[in-house]
A and B are shown apart, each in its own frame.
Chain A
Amino acid sequence: MVRVLPRVWYVGALGLFLLAAISTRAANVRGEFLESYCADCHDAETKKGGLNLDALAWQLEQPANFDAWAKVYRRVARGEMPPKKKTQPKPEEAKTFIAGLGGDLRTFDAARQAARGRTVLRRLNRVEYEQTVQDLLGIKTPLAVMLPADTPSQGFDTVAEGLRLSMLQMEKYLEAADAALDAAINLAPQLVAKQARWNAKEDKDIRKNLDTPAGQLSNPKEPKSGHHVLLLELPDAVVYFDRGYPSAKVDTGAHPAGLFKVRISAYGYQSGGKAIPMRVYRDNYREKQLLGWYDMTPDQPRVVEITAQLSANEHLRIEPSNTGVDEKGQTVYNLGPKDFKAPGLALMWVEMEGPITAEWPPASLHRVFGDTPVTKIDGQKIRDKKVAYELMPEDPKAAARQALESFADRAFRRPLEPGEADPFVQLTTDGLDAGSKFIEAMRVGLRAILTAPQFLLFEEHPGKLDDYALASRLSYFLWSTLPDEELLGLAANHTLAQPAVLHAQVERMLNDARSQAFVRDFTGQWLDLRNIDATSPDKRLYPEADELLIHSMVEETETFFADILKENLPVTDFVQSDFAMLNSRLALHYGVPGVEGETIRKVTLPPDSVRGGILTQASVLKVTANGTTTSPVRRGAWVMKKLLGDPPPPPPAGVAAIEPDTRGATTIREQLAKHRTAETCAACHSHIDPPGFALECFDVIGGFRERYRQQDKGEVVTLHNSGDHRLYAHLGLPVQTDGELADGRAFAGIQDFKKLLLTNPGQIAEALAGNLVTYATGAGIGFADRFTVEEIAASTQKEGGGLRTMIHQIVQSPLFLNK
């Protein structure tokens, strides 16, 4: 349990002024230190680094002034100021100065928080909005895309500062609520699930390719228009050799939108005992989306089962990977399927069943209309084939009140106050009075609830959160959606805030599948996984960057985080772990033997592996590079910010970035050399560059390298980290991965570097705790928070350093329990 700062939390607004007055005197005492050791460079005349202490007032109530003093504190506390070459204060002088200034800043900040709370009024972000409305209504309709993008602040889109409101936002809330209600109010007749089976050997297009005699001209006047048979017919299957055309369009006929169960049977053909990856897409001719990929066993049929949400009439499309060309580089197009001796995918059949509906009429009607009965329309009376159910309450006004009160109660995540639903009921009854039908009138009240401040905003009061606010904070932290009945029940009987109850709830919530939202949304932002598709790797330099790899990368990092969370492994595993979460594609990429199949599982790494931890995961290495080159500066800054919690300042104005050059004459390392020599650059770059140097042995897709790749010239080598052995690259200059940290400790490469990072596990834990607190509470880490975060990290470390332990520590900390 984290120690609270008891006195401070109760200092009111008046206290702020008193504190400011007292601190003015304290500042005068400190004036001597500043005068003796700082004023030489930071006076009105020199203003080095833009800091003029003569003009720096003591007005902490102004955020900019507070930040300026916090920066003075930080630079002195870290021993960066005064600079080594200047007169140094005696250790006890520095200590007194740091303690005095730090104490004042901390007291002031804590008092400000006690009076105002850390987190300002926060609204649902669009991810939370979507999940909340979906859960509230029992629908699956995507809604986030309808809302304006949120601007992350302090690295996360849960931070209140960045979550602005505008007219545009209101306009889109109205539209999104409409779309959600359209989906929820589904009165259509129940869809009958149908079964369809597709046999490759009977498909029209496949038969055409197989049965048309080779060489037959499609255009009699064009001798080059001769037919090519590209598929091979086996007794039980049809073999696809090519990665592109002709891919299998699985035509199972027309179908409505919905959830489908799909079974596919296929196997690897003449693949030399190796599995052949099969990619399965949903396709509507305009765009196709990968549903998944599967390593299909050699020679023995494997049946894959997929559950997929399909739009109306959308079909499946199946394509093999690692096929297409034989060892001599010949294709099936040149040789014909009978003489072609390269791997292929033998596709047998596909079964599709759906749409699957769990309950009809859908549960969403009950969520929206409460107790109002949904009745089946008498077959005789059906006028519109699309409508089979109706709502005809005997007393529409009473029914509206019941339904809206129950809906608002859930939407507002707390019990309604007396009369609170009246305005919404009024909207609906006004409509009924004006002659609107029940459903139409209800929609207006429902839309108003979904646009109301009680729904969109989190009501929190300075000081300790009330039980319902706590239930919401917990639920949005770990589930990104509204609290369930159990949480609300504990809030209702005021037991939720008890440490043991909180602990049990966190355990329950983390064990619940809904916690995947936390894993996805937190890692997506902490580790920038949301940017995975921001750049596409240069196909000529990185031909092995296939869809399977990119797809697996994000999964790797998410499952890695999830595993550390589940097993309560130490947070230092994010720096170095003896295991990795791999499937066959990632294992090939990393050169880890013996991993087969597309399913990600935990693999113990060989002792000499460069992998382990997040820094060496392909996803992180990809999002910290562009598609062509890597930059130690960019990666180094990323490591400082994300893993060490020490973001470097942005580059000074007027300094141009280094121009990447892939022609092979110089390496980025050579171009960066001046950082080490120019003193003005070195101040920051001696910190920024080293992590980037250590990571230079990984290319833009996280492959291990000893030499850079370059265009068109240089030694050609076959790429080993791909299922396709024909891929090759040109090699350029060697990579240099050694360096030294700002404190002078040297490293030879990534393994050494990780060891150096691990000598200070506290820093790693603090950085992660800071990120988690920011994400969980919707506010960045302020000056006073820093100390609590340190305590969270320290007590986590004391209890074994586990991630799960850290989450418990955070939830039980005053940062989480107070506004």
Chain B
Amino acid sequence: MIPISPSLPAAPISRRAFLRGTGVALALPFLDAMWPQRAGAAEATTAPKRLVAVCTSLGIYGPALYPKETGRDYASTPYLDLIKEHRNDFTVFSGLSHPDQAGADGHSSEMTWLTAARHPGLGGFRNTISLDQFVAEKIGVETRYPSLTLGTNYTSQSHTRSGVMIPAEVMPSKVFAKLFIQGQPWEVQQQMRKLKEGRSIMDTVSAEAKRFSARVGAADRDKLDEYFTSVREMEQRLAKTEDWAQKPKPKIDAQPPVDIKEESDLIGRMQLLFELVPLALQTDSTRLITILVQGRGDVPPIAGVSMDHHNLSHHGQDPEKIRQLELIETAQMGALDKLFTALKQKTEGGVPLLDNTMVLFGSNLGNANSHDWHNLPILLAGGGFRHGQHLAFDAKDNTPLCNLFVQMLQKMKVEADQFSTSTATGVPGLA
């Protein structure tokens, strides 16, 4: 296998192009090799912290997930058995949730898993910034992409400061190309031209907005400020992108993924997105990734499953439905296991990538059968915490999930002692 170099043609890279170059392999683990390229020799000695958040939107069947015991010596459960090799690399939480998630419908909390805004979709609801974007505002400039927003369809968990949902990227091949495939010189030139045009357009419309501002009343100024800010940030972003466009993309020794055409193959598509995670993090293309695995109203191609996923989540205690639901979720846990393994195998400076990467895995529904948004299934792996426990909080009076978020922010070295509905700077028992 050969690394993708700027001289290779742009996507799609044929399989043959790779085979032709067999034998040219990188001698060093990639990240170690790229250290000197990173700006600022001082920081280069400490690996950056990363955050990956994966939400499966149809809940996780509780009885198969939660251990009965708390603490370190819990007896494993069917789902946790599937990731048992990593037992000391994750903590399973129960009794966490966001307060006041009764929303427009049973699935509204899907848009607030990382924001914790109250009463999603009701009345004058406004979403707030998501955890990843909050961090991106602070450290996003340091990487080619401030964050990656991935999903199994258009919907994502990432929301900007003004509460706008960032559409998810769905096609792994496109994400791969964006991260690693260097365009032809003429393509780069064209991109540069577009970026420059974009900047002069932003310049012009910003001047227009100033004139506009003189004409509208005080009540409208806030809205117009939002326009100004958007334009200014866009200008900065375009300038930043121009910088990055002129720098070659990182070379890696992995093949571009082949997209799964069958939409109902949720787990397969989730797996492909997972495979991008170590590559993106390891090359420091980004430090923040969110993935929304949105349950679907069709039948996934999994042996033994004959009913659609959403329906199964409303199992109504029907044992057959629960059995099939468990088959789907077992496949999901399998994909998670592979993600943990991949993040452990990659090392940087001798330390597994997982140790510098927090992986938050869970759901916005505690019990999808009744659309209950309390007692969310939450797993946190890696990131340098001391794991290996089941931390249980009051099932009747849940602890805010945002308390855990604040602790994660601090681990990311982001100065914050508060996030959304947090009431403390951490959860007891996690260190």
Do residues B311 and A711 form an inter-chain contact, with CB atoms below 8 A? no
Find out whether the CB atom of A711 lies under 8 angstroms from the CB atom of B227.
no
Q: Pick the contact of A780: B124, B209, B308 (CB < 8 A).
A: B124
Chain A residues near B198 (CB-CB < 8 A): 174
Interface positions of B from 110 to 156, Cβ below 8 Å from A:
119, 121-127, 154-155
Contact residues of B between 358 and 409, Cβ < 8 Å to A = 367, 369-372, 374, 396-397
Q: Is the CB of B160 within 8 A of A168?
A: yes
Give the A interface residue count (CB, 8 A): 73
Whether a CB of chain B sits under 8 angstroms from the CB of A626 is: yes
A-B contact number at CB 8 A? 206
Does the CB pair A171–B237 fall under 8 Å? yes
Bound CA span A120–B222, Å: 9
B145-185 contacts to A, CB under 8 A, are 154-155, 160-167
Within 8 A of B (CB), among A631-657: 634, 647, 650-651, 653-654, 656-657
Q: Which residues of A contact B230 (CB under 8 A)?
A: 165-167, 169-170
Contact A627–B310 (Cβ < 8 Å): yes
Are A459 and B216 in touch, CB under 8 angstroms?
Answer: yes
A120 touches B220 (CB 8 A): yes
Find B297's partner among A120, A535, A653, A780 (CB 8 Å cutoff).
A535
A653 cross-chain contacts in B, Cβ below 8 A: 99-100
Q: Smallest CB-CB separation from A447: which chain B residue?
A: B201
- Which of A461, A539, A650, A656 is B217 in contact with, Cβ under 8 Å? A461
Which residues of chain A in 437-484 are interfacial with respect to chain B, using CB atoms and an 8 Å cutoff? 444, 447-448, 451-454, 456-457, 459, 461-462
Q: Which segment, of A98-106, A127-135, A338-346, A658-666, faces chain B?
A: A658-666
Query: In angstroms, how far is the closest chain A Cβ from the Cβ of B227?
Result: 5
- Report how far A286 CA is from B171 CA in the complex, Å: 14
Asked if residues B123 and A154 are in contact (CB atoms below 8 Å), the reply is: yes
Cβ-based interface call for B72 (8 A): no
A331 sits at the interface (CB 8 A): no
Check A627 against B314 for contact (C-beta < 8 Å): yes
Does A24 count as interface, using CB distance less than 8 angstroms?
no
Chain B CB within 8 A of A672 CB: no
| Residues on the B chain within 8 Å of A162, using CB | 124-126
Please, which residues of chain B bring their CB within 8 A of the CB of A661? Answer: 316-317
- Across the interface, B102 reaches (CB within 8 A) one of A536, A650, A711, A712, namely A650
Task: Tell whether A430 is near chain B: CB-to-CB under 8 Å.
Answer: yes
Interface centre among A121, A170, A654, by most chain B C-beta atoms within 10 angstroms, is A170
Q: A430-B200, A536-B310 are in contact. Are A148 and B125 (CB under 8 A)?
A: no
A164 and B121 contact, CB distance less than 8 A: no
Interface flag for A161 (CB, 8 Å): yes
Q: Does A523 contact B (CB under 8 A)?
A: no
**A153 contacts B124, CB within 8 Å?**
yes
> From residue 186 to 223 of chain B, which have CB atoms closer than 8 A to chain A?
197-198, 200-202, 204-205, 207-209, 212, 215-220, 222-223
Q: How far is the CA of A676 from the CA of B154 in the complex (A)?
A: 42
Task: Say which residue of B204, B219, B224, B314 sits within 8 Å of A660 (CB atoms).
Answer: B314
- A166-B162, A627-B311, A656-B370 known; A711-B216 Cβ under 8 A: no
For A115, A122, A536, the residue with the greatest tally of chain B CB atoms inside 10 Å of its CB is: A536
A311 to B147, CA, bound (A): 34
Asked if A165 and B227 sit within 8 Å, CB to CB, the answer is yes
User: A154, B216: Cβ atoms under 8 Å?
Assistant: no
- Contact check: which of B126, B201, B216 meets A164 at CB < 8 Å? B126
Known: A116-B217, A153-B125, A536-B297. A457 touches B212 (CB 8 A): yes
Residue numbers in A under 8 Å from B217 (CB-CB): 116-117, 461-462
B14 to nearest A CB, angstroms?
21
Chain A nearest CB, measured from B343 CB (Å)? 28
Set A430, A657, A663: member contacting B370, Cβ < 8 A: A657
Q: Nearest CB to that of B162 among chain A residues?
A: A164
Is the pair B197, A444 in contact by a Cβ cutoff of 8 Å? yes
In the complex, the answer to whether A120 meets B200 with C-beta atoms within 8 Å is no
Q: Is the CB of A149 within 8 A of B204?
A: no
- List of B residues within 8 angstroms of A662 by Cβ: 316-318
Assess the A453–B310 pair: CB atoms within 8 A. no
What is the bound-complex CA distance between A513 and B122, given in angstroms?
Answer: 32
**Residue contact A448 to B205, C-beta cutoff 8 Å:** yes
A403-444 interface bits toward B, Cβ cutoff 8 Å, 1 = contact, 0 = none: 000000000000000000001101100100000000000001
Q: Is B231 an interface residue (CB 8 A)?
A: yes
Docked Cα-Cα span, A451 to B231, in Å, equals 10
If A169-B164, A461-B216, A661-B317 touch, whether A538 touches B311 (CB-CB below 8 Å) is yes
Q: Which of A165, A174, A629, A634 meets B201, CB within 8 Å?
A: A174
Interface residue? B8 (CB, 8 A): no
Residues of chain B from 91 to 106 with CB closer than 8 A to chain A in the complex = 99-100, 102-103, 105-106
Question: Is A540 an interface residue when CB atoms closer than 8 A count as contact?
Answer: yes
Cα distance A709–B256 in the bound complex, in angstroms: 48
B253 contacts the other chain (CB 8 A):
no
Q: Which of B100, B126, B217, B320 has the most CB of A within 10 A?
A: B217
Q: Tell me the interface secondary structure of chain A in the complex.
A: loop
Complex: A456 Cα to B263 Cα, angstroms: 35
Residue of A627, A634, A654 contacting most chain B CB atoms (<10 Å): A627
B125: A residues at CB distance < 8 A: 151, 153, 162
Separation in Å of the B108 CB from the closest CB of chain A?
Answer: 10
Cβ–Cβ contact A151 & B106, under 8 A: no
Complex Cα gap A170–B317 (Å): 47
Complex interface: chain A residues within 8 A of B397 (CB): 654
The answer to whether the Cβ of B81 comes within 8 Å of any Cβ in the partner chain is: no
Q: Is B234 an interface residue (CB 8 A)?
A: yes
B326 CB to nearest chain A CB (Å): 17
A628 at the interface (CB under 8 A from B): yes
* B307: Cβ under 8 A from any A Cβ: yes
Write the chain A residue with the least CB distance to B371.
Answer: A657
Contacting B162 at CB < 8 Å: which of A165, A426, A533? A165
List A contacts of B310 (CB < 8 A).
535-536, 626-627
Q: How far is the CA of A122 from the CA of B227 in the complex (A)?
A: 11
Taking the closest CB of chain B, its distance from the CB of A696, in whole angstroms, is 16
- Measured between beta carbons, the chain A residues less than 8 angstroms from B154 are 145, 149
In the complex the two chains form, what is the Cα distance from A454 to B207 in whole Å? 12
Partner of A170, one of B231, B308, B311, B314: B231
| Residues in chain A near residue B162, CB distance under 8 A | 164-166
Contact among A153, A168, A659, A660 with B126 in the assembled complex (CB-CB below 8 Å): A153
| A160 contacts chain B at the CB level, 8 A cutoff | yes
- Residues of the A chain whose Cβ atoms lie less than 8 Å from the Cβ of B263: 287
**Chain B residues, CB < 8 A from A536:** 297-298, 308, 310-311
Most buried by A among B99, B106, B127: B106
Residues of B within 8 A of A168 (CB): 160, 164, 166
B233, CB-defined interface residue at 8 Å: yes
Q: Tell me if A301 is interfacial: C-beta within 8 Å of chain B.
A: no
Cβ contacts under 8 Å, A362 to chain B: none
Q: Given A120-B220, A540-B307, A452–B205 Cβ distance below 8 Å? A: yes
Q: Which of B52-105 contact A (CB under 8 A)?
A: 99-100, 102-103, 105
**A657 in contact with B126 (CB, 8 Å):** no
Chain A, 133-165, contact with B by CB distance < 8 Å: what is the 0/1 string? 000000000000100110111100000111011
Report yes or no: A170 in contact with B226, Cβ–Cβ below 8 A.
no
Chain B residues closer than 8 Å to A117, beta-carbon distance: 217, 219-220
CB-nearest residue of chain A relative to B158?
Answer: A168
Q: Are A152 and B226 in contact (CB under 8 A)?
A: no
In the assembled complex, which residues on chain A have CB atoms less than 8 Å from the CB atom of B227?
Answer: 165, 453, 456-457
What is the chain B residue whose CB lies nearest that of A780?
B124
Q: Measured between alpha carbons, how far is A661 from B154 in the docked complex, in Å?
A: 32
Residue of B nearest to A629 (CB): B316
| CB<8 Å pairs between A and B, sample of 5 | A162-B126, A167-B234, A170-B202, A423-B204, A424-B204
18 new A-B contacts, CB < 8 A, other than A165-B229, A662-B316, are A149-B155, A151-B164, A152-B121, A160-B223, A164-B163, A167-B234, A168-B166, A424-B204, A426-B204, A448-B204, A453-B208, A535-B310, A627-B314, A629-B314, A657-B372, A659-B317, A661-B316, A663-B318
Nearest 4 pairs between A and B by C-beta? Answer: A662-B316, A650-B102, A116-B219, A121-B220
